[in-house]
Amino acid sequence: MRGSDSLTVPGAQKIAEFAREGLPVIFYDGMPSYFASYNDSGANYVKKTLDGIQNLQNVHHVAANTLADAVSSLGIEPLTKIQADGTWFTYWRRDDAKSEDYIFLYNDTPWPNPTSAVYTQGTVEFQATGQPYLFDAWTGEQSPILNYTQTKSTTTIFFQLAANQAIIVAFKNKEQPGYHAVSASRQVLAVTGSGKDLEAHVGYTESSCAGRVITSDGKRHRVPPASAKPFELKSWTLTVVHWDPPSDLSNIDPVAVKHNTTHKLDGLTSWQNIDGLQQVSGQGYYQSSFDWEAHESSGAIISFGFIVHTVRVTLNGHTIPPLDISNPTADITKYLVKGTNQIEVVVSTTMANGMAPVWDDLRVSGGPPSGLFGAPTKPSGTDNYGLLNPVVVTPYRVVRLN
């Protein structure tokens, strides 16, 4: 309990009851000094009750900023231990019926702006030893995590998370962990497979030196890097379907005016930087292509940086499963064809930019539009829309680890 906490008579009684039964009780930064009432007799009772347990061996007093060390010294470990270069949080839920644990892991590191990619990385030690899985809340897919270390009571997993990204890690405790990687070089993008048939997806490195993967049987596997460098898709054709207000805002019969405009882009940028698209709202259809020299045991990942609103991607006529807009990345290997590959990306926007030019002329029940309790609601009209970050294809080499 904190020294600044407020207490009630029943609350103090419960604390004393738990303490006398041997439960560790910690008073942090002083004794609670506030009583949730103006009753003097109740406040005196609370003080007397707490004073009566001060000499018990399982009652501890710790100074400010030493709580974590004090709790650890008592042998009480958190369900998750995070060591990361960003601000990460976890929330744990257990399903006793299925003997499964679900951990929501969130990266609270903010994006400085929509055109700057921010990634943080680190490890999380979980108080669980079943088979770990990654649950994709965007697609519903459940895929085993195959790169981790375990002790008799914990599992430690490395993650790289984009700013504001959230993932779900699950432990199926009825499943015994199988053959997996316990360590991998930085150029190893992923470890996939099942049973003894594991694969390392290895990216390009400037040095061309082979990396390594150590598997749970203690073997060291040499993993040569991919020969092809990551490349950016720079040439795009953008068609924007946008809706503009009618010329007479007082006429209730006309609907919004629909326009299609097409733009050739040598690089991705905000619609605010494209002639004719300032203060425009609608859907953007981006089209591009790239050449792919297919060969056995090769694959690729595509990444889009940060997506402002929504995104749908089609490659060679195949729709890629939904992407996490905080980290829109997908393995596109099964959609690739040798030679030219056609990609279409559809993004949506809000109506904020399109409404801004006519906002002062709008009337709602005879008055200007307003928010809750009359708060101003006029949009700035300068929001950044569209694909804002480079689209990058990262080839990888598949190396079997069996």
Over its length of 402 residues, how does the chain's per-residue pLDDT go in tens digits? 787 888 888 888 999 999 999 999 998 888 877 777 767 888 888 888 888 998 999 999 888 788 878 888 888 888 999 999 999 999 999 999 999 999 999 999 887 676 666 899 999 999 999 999 999 999 999 999 999 999 999 999 999 999 999 999 999 999 999 999 999 999 999 999 988 899 999 999 988 788 999 999 999 999 999 989 999 999 999 999 998 887 787 777 767 788 899 999 999 999 999 999 998 999 999 999 999 987 666 899 999 988 988 999 999 999 999 999 999 999 999 999 999 999 999 999 998 898 888 888 888 877 878 766 666 788 888 999 999 999 999 999 999 997
Q: How far is CA 109 from CA 88, 119, 157, 163, 385, in A?
A: 8, 8, 19, 5, 22
Give every CB contact of residue 17 below 8 A, 6+ residues apart in sequence. none
Residue 13 placed within a domain: yes
Q: Of 190, 384, 193, which is closest to residue 284 (Cα–Cα)?
A: 384
Residue 1 placed within a domain: no
Same domain, 164 and 251: no
Q: Of 347, 270, 254, which is closest to residue 309 (Cα–Cα)?
A: 347
CB of 161 within 8 A of CB of 131?
no
Same domain, 300 and 215: no
C-alpha span between 284 and 388 (Å, rounded): 12
In CATH, what number is assigned to the domain containing residue 172? 2.60.40
Same domain, 127 and 48: no
Domain coverage including residue 349: 232-396
Domain boundary among 51, 73, 95: 73
Same domain, 202 and 236: no
Residue 35 placed within a domain: yes
Same domain, 387 and 310: yes
Same domain, 241 and 185: no
Residue 188 placed within a domain: yes
pLDDT, position 150? 96
Same domain, 248 and 163: no
Same domain, 69 and 120: no
First to last CA, the chain: 53
CB of 35 within 8 A of CB of 44?
no
Same domain, 298 and 392: yes
pLDDT, position 357? 87
Residue 401 placed within a domain: no
Same domain, 53 and 29: yes
In CATH, what number is assigned to the domain containing residue 324? 2.60.120.260
Residue 402 placed within a domain: no
C-alpha span between 147 and 71 (Å, rounded): 30
Domain boundary among 204, 223, 242: 223
Residue 327 placed within a domain: yes
Same domain, 197 and 248: no
Domain boundary among 223, 252, 275: 223
Same domain, 173 and 286: no
Residue 329 placed within a domain: yes
Q: Are strands 59-62 and 25-28 parallel, antiparallel or unpaired?
A: parallel
CB of 35 within 8 A of CB of 7?
yes
Our count of domains for the chain comes to 3
What pTM was computed for the model?
A: 0.83
